[in-house]
Structure 1
Amino acid sequence: MKTKQIYLRFLNLIHALEGEAHTPAMDLDAKKLLEVIAVRHEQEKPLTVTEAMALNTIASPATIHRKLDQLRELGMIDTVFEGKNRRTKYLVPTQASLDYFESIGKAMQAALA
C-alpha cells in the first residue's frame, strides 16, 4: 500500500472515531495542546501551565487558556502539584485522554493492516 493511501485510510478511520459518542469533541487547537501535554508527560517532563501558555505555535495565550479550560471540562487533563511546591501546576493527561490515544493508536494499526 502506498504511503499516501495509508495516511488517507488513517484519516478516514480518525473521522469515523470522531463520529462516535465516546470521542470528546475537541477542535484542532485543543487536540494539539492535548498531544503536547501527553507527549511531555510520556517523556516524564510534564508541562507546566506557564509553559503551555507560551506555546505560541499552537495559539495565543488567551486561546491556550480557553483550551486548557475546555480540556479540563472534557475530563482530558488535570493539574497537579509536585512535592511541597504549590506554586507550579503541572498538566497531566487523565485516563480519558489515555483511552482516546489508545483508540487513535488502534486506528493507526488498522490503517497499516
Structure 2
Amino acid sequence: MSKTTRPADIYLRFLNLVDALRALPALPPLDPLEERVLAIVGRARQLEERLSVRDLMGQDGLGAPATIHARITSMRKKGWLVLADTDDTRRKQVDLTPAALAYFDELSGLMLKAAKEG
C-alpha cells in the first residue's frame, strides 16, 4: 500500500524542520508574543509599509503599550529588530535586522524542502 501525503504532513514536516532551525545558535529565541511582533514587522517590510513603534503599540491583540515596548526593546537586544530615525525625531521606524531577514530566508527554504519531501 503506497503512502499518500496529506497537506498536513507537509506542514508537520515543516514544523519539525523549524524546530531544528531554532536549535541552531543564530539568534536568541523569541517568546510567542515576540514571534507575533516579528511577523507583523516582516509583513510590513514585505508590503513596503512604514511601521513605527507607535504603530506596533496600537496593534490589536498584542497587549498593553508598555508590554509591546518591552518586547521591542528585548528583540533589539536579541538582534532581531532595529529602530531607524524618521523626519519626526519622536517617532522611530521598526525594521528587521539582516540576521532576522536571514532567518526568514531559512524558513522559506524549509517550507520548500518540506513540500519537496512530500
Q: How many residues align?
A: 112
Structure of higher CA gyration radius: 2
Residues 21-100 of structure 1 mapped to structure 2, 5 A cutoff: 21-82=25-86, 84-100=87-103
Q: Letter of the aligned partner of 2:57 in structure 1?
A: M
Q: Give yes or no for the alignment of 1:101 onto 2:104.
A: yes
Deviation track 1:62-85 (CA, whole Å, cap 9, x = no partner) reads 221111011100111111123x32
- Partner Cα separation in structure 1 for residue 14 and residue 64 of structure 2: 29
Offset at residue 59 of structure 1 (A):
2.7
Offset at residue 22 of structure 1 (A):
1.4
Whether the 8 Å contact between 2:27 and 2:99 is mirrored in structure 1 is no
Give SS of 2:79's match.
Answer: coil
**Aligned in 2, Cα 1:23/1:103: closer, same or farther, shift over 3 Å?**
farther
The structure carrying a bigger strand percent of its residues is: 1
Aligned-residue RMSD, C-alpha: 1.3
TM-score calculated relative to the size of structure 1: 0.91
- Partner Cα separation in structure 1 for residue 63 and residue 109 of structure 2: 29
Structure 2 unaligned residues grouped into runs of 5+: none
TM-score calculated relative to the size of structure 2: 0.87
Give SS of 2:89's match.
Answer: strand
Runs of 4+ deviating beyond 6 Å: none
Tell me what 1:112 maps to. 115
Structure 1 unaligned residues grouped into runs of 5+: none
Tell me what 2:8 maps to. 4
